Each structure stands twice: as C-alpha cells, then as structure tokens.
Structure 1
Amino acid sequence: MKKLIIALAMIFGLSLNNNATEERKDGETLTLRQQKLVAISSLTAKGDLGQLKTAIEGALVSGLTVNEIKEAIVQLYAYCGFPRSIRGLQTFTGVLDARKARGITDKRGQEATPVHSNRSKYDRGKAILEKLTGAPETGPKTGYAAFAPEIEVFLKEHLFADIFERDVLSYADRELVTVAVLTSIGGVEPMLRSHLNICLNVGLSPGQLQQFVGLINQSIGKKEADAAHIVLNEVLKSRK
C-alpha cells in the first residue's frame, strides 16, 4: 500500500511530506518540473529502478520532455558512475517503449545547441565554474587538484564544459540534479556543501532547498534527508 501511495504521488505531484510541496511562508517553491528532476535523479543514483519508472512516467505526464529527462540521467554518470546512469537510461527507454505501445507520443524537446568557440574546453569549463561559484579560479592548485592535476583538468574540460555547457537544462536544473545525486549516495558532504552553495548562487532560494530536502525524504528516505538537512543548515548559517 505504501508503494502504491508513493507511486501515485510521483505521477500526480501529490505531497507525502509537508516539507516537500506545501506553499511556504516565503512563497518560494520548486516548480513541479524541478521536483520531477529531483525525484528522477535521486532514484537513478540510488538504483531504485521500480520507483524510477513511476517517477519518469509522472515527469512525462507533467510535461517534461524526453531530452530534458535524458539530459539529467546522462549528467548523473559524472557523479555516481556509468552503471547507475546507464541503468537509468535503460529504464527510461523501457518507459518510452511502453507508452508508445499505448499510443502515446512523448515530446522530444530541445536539442543541445552546438558550441562554436575558439577557446579551449579547459578555459570554457573554468569560466563556467567561476560563474557557478562566484569565485575566480586563480592561484596555485591545492588539495586533490594539486595531488592529482589530471582530475582537475577532467573536471573543467568534461564536467563543466562538455556537460554543464549543454543548454537543454539550466544551471539551476543541473545543480538540483547534482545535489539530488550527492544526497542520495551519501558520504560526500564536502561536495554537497559546495553544490548547495552553488544552488544559492544560481538563484535557488533557502526555502526551495528546504523543500528539496523534503523531496529526498519522500523519494529516498529519512536518513539521507536528515544528513542533507544538517549540511544545508550549515550552508545557510555560513552565508548570514
């Protein structure tokens, strides 16, 4: 019965948690589209393919395009690996095939705009990261970037140029996808802290991020939501 209730909530956007979808005092809530991206991303990262089917079905019903959903699931591999991302894509194609068999044609949506630039991918990725964090990427490398400079190059060239530069999803969309994955896999609180700060930098509000935590509680579980709540509170306090 519980799974049935969760399934109906994912399809029709119903609330199972007051923190997830209620109208907040500040009037700032995630859009239904954003809520669906969070559910899809978190369930893909967790590997809950049964609930993922339901979440994808609900996202399509609510108006997300095939390319928007596909873009989110593809992005996940950079944070939780190819196996989870590919299983998500396989689940997605299964949902699309089943809907097509029922006579439903889903909207493909916008394709990524080709990038024409004389700048290197490293420089483009660096510029995007600076825009996201609001901080210049200058000075000597420290920490993991100094220890393994190769991964710092991969990060800028691939994640922030090859992926974040694609305009099917906005920076805010991509950051919601990212924090959904990081919260779901757990044990990566420093990265979650960084990306929650980026969420605020790209226009998401504290109220929307509190709602995000409620959505994680709804789709993944209390343990993951509680851990994210602690990190979010730390981030909000540090910005006062």
Structure 2
Amino acid sequence: MVISENAQKYHERMFPGYESKLLKTDPEFIVLFDNFAFDEVVNQCDLDEHTRFIAILATLIGCQGIDEFKVMLNASYNFGVTPIEMKEIVYQAVAYLGMGRVFPFLHAVNDFCIDHHIALPLTGQSTTNPINRLEKGIQAQVDIFGENMKNFYQSGDKDSQHINYWLTDNCFGDYYTRNGLDYNQREMITFCFLAAQGGCEAQLISHASANIRIGNDKDFLIQVISQCLPFIGYPRSLNALHCVKEAIE
C-alpha cells in the first residue's frame, strides 16, 4: 500500500516540504488515514478549501483536539484562513464550550501568530458596547432564527431567566455581532462546535435549522459533516447527520 498521488499532493499543499514522523513509526496507518482524509474525503464534494478548514478548526475545538488543531492552523493558513478568522473561531467557541475547554486553543493561535511574525493583538473586531450589546444581540437572533426570538431574552422561569438574557447579550450580542466572520460562517462553526462535542442534540437540531434558514442548506451541512468526519469519527458524524434530518422534518 502506498499514499495516493492525490493525497500526497494535498498533503504538500497543507504542509509544504514537511514529512510526518508517523511515516516512519506508523507507515501503514498513515497510508490508510492520508488516502482517506486527504484523497477520498476531500474529493467527495465541492466545498471550497477556505470553508473546509474553518469547519475543521471549529470541529477540532469542539472535540478538544488541541494537538491536531495546532497542526491544522498551519494548513488552514496555507488555504487562506486568516489570523483574524482563527481568533474569531476561538472567541466564539467560548460561548459554546466554555473558557475551561477553549483556553489552550486561544494560546495555540497566539503561538501560531508569534511563530509567523504576526503582530499581536490583532485589529479589534467588536461592533458593540455595553449600552447596545443587548439590542444588537436581539437583532442577531432575529436575523438568524426569526421574529419569534425577539423577546427570547425575557423568556424562561424567573429563577433562570437571566441565562436566556445572557444568551442574547453575551453569546449573540458580544460574539455574533463581531466582524471577521459573517452570520453564515458563525452558524456553521456553531454547528461544528456542537456536533464535535456531542451531547448537545437539542441545540444541534436548533442550529441546524438556523443554518438552513440563513442559506447553509442540507447539502452544505452534509458536506461539512463529511469533511470533518476524519477528525471526530463516525458516531458523532452520524449523530450530526441525524440532527440535520430532524431539523428538516
């Protein structure tokens, strides 16, 4: 068995001039994985490379694949993902995974920027302030989910209503309103965060519906799931696919 020509070419585009140490220690595995992930999978659909790598980075945060994330930062950069986009993916992940799980990924992007002589801090992308973040968060929820979300921040039981309020002013008002990624990209990475971490089926169905509503249709989501499958495996990929079907139904 040998690594296919297509897989070799794709690997060279991701990591110019780099030869994996695993070729020496685990040659059979590398042949199996590279031929699948970097030939069969990448040629399965017409998802553009930039979108593919944004989805992969989000997926790796979702499944806590910090070592692979560090590797794929370099590949994503070679396929046009900018440092600002990298940062925005990580920042938004805090709302869906919490700082406890995102902390090392924030440092990974900082280390990547330093290694590539990219000055930190990057240009700020915030578009809201403490006065208008709630208003802007409401608008973001309405734009993505529909008019039924207009009063969501006031919903829920009195003892937990503050969490729905935070979801509006913090998750959407602080993060979704930022520049660097548009709504479609932000909903896609949210879908990836939820699919990769597992155990979030209700939220995954909801965000699958939101993706479809704003134009990330069923075929697009299936392509995203397919491209991320080598990094999260079959169970969570099949679960994500089931949630997309539930959203459509």
Q: TM-score range by the shorter chain?
A: 0.7 to 0.9
Q: CA deviation at 1:17?
A: 7.7
SS of 2:148's equivalent in the other structure is: coil
Note if 1:16 corresponds to 2:28.
no
Q: How does 1:154-165 map to 2 (within 5 A)?
A: 154-165=166-177
Q: CA deviation at 1:179?
A: 0.8
Note if 1:52 corresponds to 2:52.
no
Note if 1:186 corresponds to 2:198.
yes
- Specify the structure having the higher radius of gyration (Cα): 2
Amino acid at match of 2:11: L
Note if 1:112 corresponds to 2:125.
yes
Match of 1:133 in 2: 145
Instruction: Report % sequence identity.
Output: 18
Match of 1:73 in 2: 90
Q: CA deviation at 1:185?
A: 1.0
Once residues 143 and 211 of structure 1 are traced to their aligned partners in structure 2, the CA distance between those partners, rounded to angstroms, is 35
Once residues 44 and 110 of structure 1 are traced to their aligned partners in structure 2, the CA distance between those partners, rounded to angstroms, is 23
Q: 1:116 to 1:185 in 2, by over 3 A?
A: closer
Q: CA deviation at 1:137?
A: 2.8
CA contact (8 A) 1:38 1:176 kept: yes
Match of 2:110 in 1: 93
Once residues 10 and 191 of structure 1 are traced to their aligned partners in structure 2, the CA distance between those partners, rounded to angstroms, is 35
| Aligned residue among 194, 205, 230 for 2:242 | 230
CA contact (8 A) 2:188 2:211 kept: yes
Match of 1:151 in 2: 163
> Per-residue CA shift, 1:148-207, capped at 9, x if unaligned?
101011011111111111121100111111111101111110000000111111211211
Once residues 171 and 72 of structure 1 are traced to their aligned partners in structure 2, the CA distance between those partners, rounded to angstroms, is 12
SS of 1:168's equivalent in the other structure is: coil
Once residues 83 and 96 of structure 1 are traced to their aligned partners in structure 2, the CA distance between those partners, rounded to angstroms, is 22
CA contact (8 A) 1:67 1:109 kept: yes
Match of 1:83 in 2: 100
Instruction: Provide runs of 4+ in structure 1 moved above 4 Å.
Output: 12-15, 17-20, 108-111, 138-147
SS of 1:184's equivalent in the other structure is: helix
SS of 1:16's equivalent in the other structure is: helix
Amino acid at match of 1:194: S
Match of 1:36 in 2: 53
Please give the TM-score of this superposition, normalised by the length of structure 1: 0.80
Q: 1:44 to 1:150 in 2, by over 3 A?
A: same
Q: CA deviation at 1:220?
A: 1.4
CA contact (8 A) 2:153 2:164 kept: no
Q: CA deviation at 1:216?
A: 2.6
Once residues 109 and 169 of structure 2 are traced to their aligned partners in structure 1, the CA distance between those partners, rounded to angstroms, is 28
- How much is the aligned-residue C-alpha RMSD, in angstroms? 3.5
Q: 1:204 to 1:10 in 2, by over 3 A?
A: farther
Once residues 10 and 183 of structure 1 are traced to their aligned partners in structure 2, the CA distance between those partners, rounded to angstroms, is 27
Which structure's relative contact order is higher, taking Cα pairs within 8 Å and 6+ residues apart? 1
Q: How does 1:203-222 map to 2 (within 5 A)?
A: 203-222=215-234
Amino acid at match of 1:47: Q
